């Protein structure tokens, strides 16, 4: 664990410079956010509108430069699985154009390979939950509409996307979004868009009673306890406690659509303050009959793949195996947890 932390020391913040702790809360309930570098779309990415009323949009990524990719042959085997991606940031920070997420999305598209669709969604506290879930569902419904779009469908999606292999992925709070959006989508059967799996990378959940890993995280340099508490305070509906269903699905009534979820890959690291929650969540899904692939024993810290290139490549390899059906990550019939080789 020390080696992993040391390898990222030049890139990752100390607790004293933690970006979440730079958020300033004001007495009127508003906040001031720290500066976050952004980047424009490139030759291998493009931005398309989603819901102008909510200022939401999507950044699409192809494995290669867009102009060249559009000239490739369009045979069935050339179609790419689609990964709808939700970024992290505790529901409060970042966007699809944030440099810290733009580069990994481009790298993931090339490495898997896949057509990655990253959602720029509304943030709390200006738009508390479930606003982000509403935006996530909008993105899923947008994908579903593409094959039969009244207007011309988005050409990258139409030419390169395989609608029989659509995956929803999120990191941290984005993984929380992926879970809740998939529940909503599962309640509405669709023959146009088949959800083949969820990729839940270090999912962000909580609860009224602290777990051991949360209680020990006061000095964590990526997700210190004070930041964790603040992010939930800013994002949950007014008056909600940490056992609200948005935060703690284990404490909520089981939604009927839960057993309709596709297979799930749940990824965690032992140094993450959220690891206890992630292990409980994987077992929760298993107990509800969901097929689960789990790797929850890697060394590392929260959001490590954003700072350590080797960890990003390892994550992409696991996603590739999950999507393309490698035997090491194949699930079994019925509910169950399958440990990946990486664990």
User: Would you say residue 334 lies in a domain?
Assistant: no
For 125, list phi and psi in degrees, rounded to 5: -85, -5
Instruction: Give the C-alpha distances (Å, rounded to integers) separating 60 from 74, 107, 124, 133, 141.
Output: 18, 12, 24, 20, 16
User: Would you say residue 208 lies in a domain?
Assistant: yes
Indicate the number of domains in the chain: 1
**End-to-end alpha-carbon separation of the chain, Å?**
15
Q: In which domain, by residue range, is 169 found?
A: 56-63+78-326
Neighbours of 115 (CB within 10 A): 25
Nearest to 284 by CA among 181, 205, 169, 199: 205
Could you give the angle at the alpha carbon of 151 between the alpha carbons of 147 and 153, nearest 5°?
Answer: 40
Task: State pTM to two decimals.
Answer: 0.90
User: Would you say residue 24 lies in a domain?
Assistant: no
Please tell me the distance from the alpha carbon of residue 23 to that of residue 106, in angstroms, as a whole number: 28
CATH of the domain at 174: 3.40.50.1820
Helix (H) or strand (E) holding 128: none
**How do the pLDDT tens digits run along the chain, 343 residues long?**
444 344 344 345 566 689 999 999 999 999 999 999 999 999 999 999 999 999 999 999 999 865 444 544 444 448 999 999 999 999 999 999 999 999 999 999 999 999 999 999 999 999 999 999 999 999 999 999 998 776 678 999 999 999 999 999 999 999 999 999 999 999 876 666 789 999 999 999 999 999 999 999 999 999 999 999 999 999 999 999 999 999 999 999 999 999 999 999 999 999 999 999 999 999 999 999 999 999 999 999 999 999 999 999 999 999 999 999 843 344 333 344 455 554 4
Give the pLDDT score at 232: 98
Catalytic residue ranges: 172, 272, 302
User: Would you say residue 113 lies in a domain?
Assistant: yes
Please tell me the distance from the alpha carbon of residue 195 to that of residue 197, in angstroms, as a whole number: 6
């Amino acid at each position: 664990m020390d080696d992993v932390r040391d390898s990222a020391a030049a890139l990752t913040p100390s607790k004293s410079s933690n970006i979440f702790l730079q958020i300033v809360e004001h007495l009127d309930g508003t906040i001031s956010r720290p500066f976050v570098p952004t980047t424009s779309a490139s030759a291998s990415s493009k931005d398309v509108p989603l819901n102008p009323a909510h200022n939401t949009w999507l950044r699409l990524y192809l494995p290669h430069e867009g102009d060249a990719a559009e000239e490739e042959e369009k045979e069935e085997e050339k179609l790419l699985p689609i990964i709808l991606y939700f970024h992290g940031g505790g529901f409060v920070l970042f966007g699809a154009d944030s440099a810290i997420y733009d580069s990994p999305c481009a790298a993931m598209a090339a490495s898997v390979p896949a057509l990655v669709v990253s959602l720029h969604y509304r943030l709390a506290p200006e738009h508390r939950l479930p606003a982000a879930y509403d935006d996530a569902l909008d993105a899923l419904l947008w994908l579903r509409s593409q094959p039969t779009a009244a207007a011309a469908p988005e050409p990258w999606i139409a030419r390169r996307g395989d609608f029989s292999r659509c995956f929803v992925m999120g990191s941290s709070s984005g993984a929380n979004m992926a879970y809740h959006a998939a529940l909503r989508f599962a309640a509405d059967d669709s023959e146009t868009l088949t959800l083949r799996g969820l990729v839940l990378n270090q999912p962000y959940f909580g609860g009224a009673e602290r777990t051991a890993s949360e209680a020990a995280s006061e000095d964590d340099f990526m997700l210190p306890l004070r930041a964790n508490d603040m992010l939930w305070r800013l994002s949950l509906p007014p008056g909600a406690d940490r056992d609200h269903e948005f935060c703690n699905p284990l404490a909520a009534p089981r939604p009927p659509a839960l057993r309709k979820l596709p297979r799930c890959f749940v990824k965690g690291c032992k140094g993450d303050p959220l690891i206890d929650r992630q292990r409980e969540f994987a077992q929760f899904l298993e107990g509800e009959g969901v097929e689960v692939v789990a790797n929850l024993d890697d060394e590392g810290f929260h959001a490590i793949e954003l700072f350590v290139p080797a960890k990003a490549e390892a994550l992409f390899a696991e996603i590739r195996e999950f999507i393309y059906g490698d035997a090491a990550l194949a699930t079994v019939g019925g509910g169950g947890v399958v440990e990946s080789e990486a664990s």
